[in-house]
Amino acid sequence: MSIYVLVHGGFMGGWVWHQAAQILRTSGHEVFAPTLTGFGERAHLANPDIDLNTHIQDIVGVLECEGLQQAILVGYS
């Protein structure tokens, strides 16, 4: 099966992928839906220094820390 990393759009959080993640998991896939720094349940971390590079590092961190190889990255904005 496949590994999916689902990336939310602006002013949301990983929770927006709940239904899609549930469908993918039911089909046997592994799913990660992190919340980017400064959004959703991580809004308390918001500050003027957060930018696209911060969010790229958020996703790279998930890939590295979880040891994910050949993951399918899905995003929208």
Catalytic residues: 77
Nearest to 41 by CA among 6, 74, 5, 8: 8
Secondary structure element (H or E) that encloses residue 24, with its range: helix 18-26
In the block, residue with structure tokens 């904005």:
77
